[in-house]
Amino acid sequence: MKNFFSAHSKTFAIVIILSFIFHHCTLYHRSTVSIDQAVSADSKSFKIITQDDRTLYFNSLYYKDSKPYGVLEKSRKNQTTEIRLNPESIKEIHLQNKAASTAVTALIAVGIPAALIAYGIANFELDLSGMDFD
């Protein structure tokens, strides 16, 4: 009798890796907003697409001396980087979709283990033919 987990170890490894990759995914609204709307929005993450189609992610946006700035995501050393934004170079600004981000994260955190358990139960075979119960 093959052990279920050793027979399907490659599948389990791929599923676990994918769950770690998508565990804290951030989804963004499809609609775009202006810089003023983004600065006043209650959002923890912003996606800016530039005129040359580069995508930048910021933790916050604010005005300093009437000029827009973005704070880049924190690095491993807990340092933040402020970047002055040129409004003419911005094509789109997308706000974080908190509800969808939370739902997807919860679905991954609960759904993947539940699917693995269901798959394991559905494919479980117990072969007792070679055992002596005397």
Domain contains 69: yes
Domain contains 116: yes
Query: Given this model, what pLDDT does residue 128 score?
Result: 63
Number of domains forming the structure of the chain: 1
Residue 58, domain CATH: 2.30.30.100
Kindly list the averaged pLDDT for each block of 10 residues, start to end, along the chain of length 134: 59 70 76 92 89 92 93 74 92 88 74 74 68 64
Query: Given this model, what pLDDT does residue 19 score?
Result: 67
Query: Given this model, what pLDDT does residue 74 score?
Result: 67
Domain contains 42: yes
Question: Is the separation of the CB atoms in 34 and 91 below 8 Å?
Answer: no
Per DSSP bridges, beta strands 55-64 and 82-84 are unpaired
Domain contains 5: no
Of 12, 16, 102, 89, whose CA–CA distance to 55 is shortest?
89
Domain contains 4: no
Query: Given this model, what pLDDT does residue 1 score?
Result: 44
Domain contains 68: yes
Domain contains 64: yes
Q: Tell me the two tokens of residue 20.
A: 């770690």
Query: Given this model, what pLDDT does residue 127 score?
Result: 65
Query: Given this model, what pLDDT does residue 95 score?
Result: 92
The pTM of the full predicted model, rounded to 2 decimals, is 0.63
Domain contains 53: yes
Range of the domain at 100: 15-121
Question: Is the separation of the CB atoms in 39 and 62 below 8 Å?
Answer: yes
Q: In which order are the strands placed within the sheet that holds 55-64?
A: 82-84, 67-72, 55-64, 46-50, 90-95
